[in-house]
Amino acid sequence: MARDAFDVVFICTGNRFRSAIAQALLTQLTEGLPVRATSAGTLDLGPARVLPEALDLAPALGIDLTAHRARWIRDLDLADTGLVLGFELVHVATAVVDCGAPRDRSFTLPELVSLFPEGLPAAADGDPVARARAAVRAAHEARDSDGRRLELGDPLGGTLELFRQTAAEVRVLTERLAAVLFGVPP
């Protein structure tokens, strides 16, 4: 991953719903900022399209997922990534153990957002990358010592309402992420 931008990698199981939505939302929210969002799955599904439910819900989220194709996490080198965000603990563990993601910059998305203080001041020089790095460091230092972590489950096999609820939660979490890390207004 390049150092001229802050890289965020979202990881879910198939890279066909949660991580694809989060990637598209963060890309849209941080347009014009030195932020690069990507996503991958812990399963190798080849270049599969997003789930039909993701395509159906995308317009309401204000994103376009028609060009998205699944990627496999093991095709990525995560060692220099600014932030790795899974949705379940297994996603984070796979990123750290199998792909070299730094543990101190790897979280579940719900966990990271829960660790953010109510307000994080902007970096003194207004640098969004420095601000994001400071927020990730602070979140890592605030982690509970009991190892408790928050997750956002996979809606696969569930009702359309479960897909809607999951997409809405991904949106809220990603908007909070963009606000705290990069100062993007909600």
In a domain, 162, yes or no: yes
Identify the helix (H) or strand (E) that includes residue 36. Answer: strand 35-41
Q: What pLDDT, on the 0 to 100 scale, is given for residue 3?
A: 54
Q: Which residue has the higher pLDDT, 78 or 2?
A: 78
Average pLDDT over every residue of 155-184:
95
Structure token digits, residue 95: 């990123």
CATH number, domain at 81?
A: 3.40.50.2300
- Region 113-138: what's the mean pLDDT? 77
Asked if residue 49 belongs to a domain, the reply is: yes
User: Residue 1 has what pLDDT?
Assistant: 45
What is residue 39's three-state secondary structure? strand
For 138, phi and psi rounded to 5 degrees? -60, -40
- 86-105 pLDDT, tens digit per residue, is 999 999 999 999 999 999 99
Bridge-based pairing of strands 35-41 and 6-12 is parallel
In a domain, 1, yes or no: no
142 occurs within a structural domain: yes
Segment 160-180 mean pLDDT: 96
Q: Is 31 exposed, middle or buried (0-12, 13-18, 19+ CB in 10 A)?
A: exposed
pLDDT at residue 122 tops 60: no
pLDDT per position as a tens digit, 29-74: 999 999 999 999 999 999 999 999 999 999 999 999 999 999 999 9
The total of structural domains in the chain comes to 1
Domain residues for the domain of 21 are: 6-182
Mean per-residue pLDDT, 139-145: 81
Q: Helix, strand, or coil here: 159?
A: coil
Position 89 in a domain: yes
In a domain, 88, yes or no: yes
Query: Which pLDDT value is given to residue 186?
Result: 72
